[in-house]
A and B are shown apart, each in its own frame.
Chain A
């Protein structure tokens, strides 16, 4: 299989403009003859569905939650990047492009990333026009902050709830199209398969989560905007419902999966408190702008936050400031996470489990006053207090890294098309723009870029080329066949009646993934993980216990299907991590590090995108490599010293 990224020729800054001109258009009067399916209503899905509806296409949108407004984009706290250079501090499209490519450790495509930086400025305009209440200065203009390792202030924010406000903006645009009749919304409906006929995506199979009814939907194109797969680790900052099922079903129907092992571990999360833990809570990394990260110089077992003051200044190790003087506490996420783990591995971690480091605001409060800190982080401090019972105005927070985002996802070309014509992947569901590590405040940017400003152009080209007659109805045997397969799987899950709950399997998978395919990975461990996951898969299909029936609201059944897919994905992640014997971004292979213990990339061997092809049940997947070409940036080893 030849992977064609379809990056347009020409100078970097002109590629997108030129490409847009070369794309075919659909006549306004003909747009209503096309149907498009959008799965997922987060930033990517809601913005795509709304924009396509505005253009005149007939859209069907699906989400598993009770309302499109619940999608997990809503939980993004910190902000959204845009190369507006409103602060006159030297930002530009090229600088945002450069920072993103470098931050991704040179494992993303130049062309994609440049386009992302280019359309970032339009996103802010769009959101403001929708009535998104961004933070403003006293003069009434938009406020910016520096975020997550950036040396310019290009992050736009709405207190600590930027994702919420952007999603509600996209949701409002979506609602307008629902009211106009251009989008038909299906909430509490889960996609369980994609239907491919004659090599093209023709529709999907869904389950109505309230009645259990399995249904077919056909369309000219299917857009998967279904988010990331961080919940493969069981504990993550993702919502409980976030899952890989839509993307995994597409993968099993032939869509390649790109860089599955690229996982982002976020440094500032609230540590695990016990076995009952159901998810981890992120504290926005904007906290690192004012908070200082430290552990005691010598181990103090079980040191509590309220006793932190007993450690004199001279006995504290502000390890990020010490090791990375020029970036200090603002080093990228992967570096901050790995260093926190190293401190805990050395035994200098704090808190009852020893798996935490301090994030201390006392200096910032002394410097700026409590009021200023409260206005910046008030809601985050409140949230922290609610969960832990500790008051961060009076004592340091305790934080530990947690799985947060997955850079990997379905392989797509420059047009956001998977290798199956008519099947697209947008937002976190695709692999495309963040390389091996995503910079802070870039996820919101990418989701909205894909939905508002990329897909409306590139999808039009595909639809114009195939023509509106090129559609397969739900009466086609392929739909019946796919529905039968979905029904059979549902019934199989209900018929096993084993001894272990779905959550028990999920937890076990998560522990294996975190231990062997988490913040640092090595060959021996990955091989152990592969065996464990294979055994877990075999056991799952013999010993899972799913109560209830198929024809009702049955949340255990929903979870069971998702966990079954996570188990298969877990194995592929391990395969991918094994195949990439270099360290890059969030993927740290212990065999590949510098003498100082920093990640060592191997550009001669691994400057490629891994794109995995499904080859059948229990068969090894085939690795295809898309070589990455860098014509505009020089590959350097990242240094934040």
Chain B
């Protein structure tokens, strides 16, 4: 296949970016999208041009590191990660536009690489169960109905790639945050802290500058892991319930 690629190039965070056009002439349909870029990069290096920078690591659709906004869709036309997108999805002679995730909370670092540490900070705000290592009960002490465990798993399958934010016209992170809130709201292990958790995570989400949810469901449609917007509904319920009980816990202190 022969393809024309319009790629966003940006030297660094401060620099002004622009699209550059490249020709990719020997593209095999078996290549993954990232392998197609690898081949292009090799040819750029041979010409003495700076290769296109993009994030990637596991290349098997689970680490969440790859991104790329391809032809107007995060991770491209299929509901998968970019590393699992193969060139057989495209047509010979096609022009493909490749951009970084666009969101105020995800500043561009270079070319197609963006800074997603806002996601980490949201998880640090409350995306955990407060148990120390050791001293926990036997794993089978609390039976959890299979249906509940499966639903919690569905939420926990989020890979933290940020496609939901990139897909959303408001750059909202509701799907990402609600997936973690849901996982712990469903499981008995998460119940003790469910109210503080949702309050803290939502507060951090707002502080990072993500937009609000206006129920377009673009996030669900583009999520490579099929995370459902019912999680957002659940998070809203959790949040309301936390607001009404005004449940605040002071952190710190201990025995004497």
Contacts and interface: CB of A to CB of B under 8 A. Distances in A.
**A and B: partners?**
yes
Interface of A: 47, 50-51, 54, 65-72, 74-75, 84, 86, 122, 124-142, 158-159, 161, 163-165, 168, 171-173, 175-176, 178-179, 185, 187, 210, 237, 239-241, 273-274, 276-279, 281-282, 383, 386-387, 389, 452-453, 456, 501, 503-504, 545, 547-548, 552-553, 555-556
Contacts of A210: 109
A125 B60 contact: no
Contacts, number: 217
A296 B80 CA distance: 34
Interface of B: 11-12, 28, 30-32, 34-36, 38-39, 42, 45-46, 48-51, 53, 55-65, 78, 80, 84, 86, 88, 109-110, 113, 115-117, 119-120, 123-125, 127-134, 136-140, 143-146, 149-150, 152-153, 156-157, 159-160, 183-184, 187, 189-190
B124 A175 contact: yes
A136 B144 contact: yes
A545 B88 CA distance: 32
Contacts of B128: 130, 172-173, 175-176
A127 B134 CA distance: 10
Contacts of B28: 273-274, 276
B34 A69 contact: no
Contacts of B62: 74-75, 161, 163-164
Nearest to B28: A274
6 contacts: A74-B58, A84-B139, A163-B62, A165-B153, A239-B59, A281-B59
B196 to A, nearest CB: 12
A120 to B, nearest CB: 12
Contacts of A173: 128, 131, 133
Contact of A547 (B51, B84, B140, B183): B51
Contacts of A137: 146
Contact of B137 (A125, A383, A387): A125
Given A125-B137, A173-B133, A501-B45, A278 B32 contact: yes
B90 to A, nearest CB: 14
B86 A161 contact: no
B60 A383 contact: yes
B133 A452 contact: yes
Contact of A142 (B131, B140, B150, B153): B140
Contacts of A75: 58, 60, 62-63
Contacts of B131: 126, 129-130, 173
Nearest to B59: A279
A135 B58 CA distance: 24
Contacts of A142: 139-140
Given A66-B55, A129-B136, A545 B65 contact: no
Nearest to A50: B133
A503 B42 contact: yes
A88 to B, nearest CB: 13
Contacts of B137: 125, 129
Contacts of A131: 129, 152, 183-184, 187, 189-190
B183 A133 contact: yes
A309 to B, nearest CB: 23
Contacts of A54: 132-133
A71 B65 CA distance: 10
A553 B11 CA distance: 9
A129 B50 contact: no
A273 B137 CA distance: 48
Contacts of A132: 156
Nearest to B145: A140
A384 to B, nearest CB: 11
A512 B184 CA distance: 48
B63 A74 contact: yes
Contacts of A133: 149-150, 152-153, 156, 183, 187
B51 A387 contact: no
A274 B148 CA distance: 43
A589 to B, nearest CB: 32
A67 B53 contact: no
Contacts of B88: 389
A171 B123 contact: yes
A281 B31 CA distance: 13
B133 A51 contact: yes
Given A74-B63, A273-B28, A281-B59, 10 more contacts: A51-B133, A69-B63, A75-B63, A122-B134, A126-B136, A131-B190, A134-B149, A136-B146, A240-B58, A552-B11
A128 B113 CA distance: 35
A386 B86 contact: yes
A239 B156 contact: no
Contacts of B58: 70, 72, 74-75, 239-240
A70 B30 contact: no
A529 B143 CA distance: 55
Nearest to A549: B50
A303 B120 CA distance: 48
**Would you list the 6 A-B pairs with minimal beta carbon distance, nearest first?**
A140-B143, A172-B128, A129-B136, A133-B153, A128-B139, A273-B30
Contacts of B127: 172, 175
Contacts of B46: 501
Contacts of B130: 176
A142 B187 CA distance: 14
A259 to B, nearest CB: 26
Nearest to A171: B123
Contacts of B86: 386-387, 389
Contacts of A72: 57-58, 63
A258 B236 CA distance: 53
Contacts of B59: 239-240, 278-279, 281
A237 to B, nearest CB: 8
A553 B149 contact: no
A545 to B, nearest CB: 6
Contact of B149 (A135, A164, A552): A135
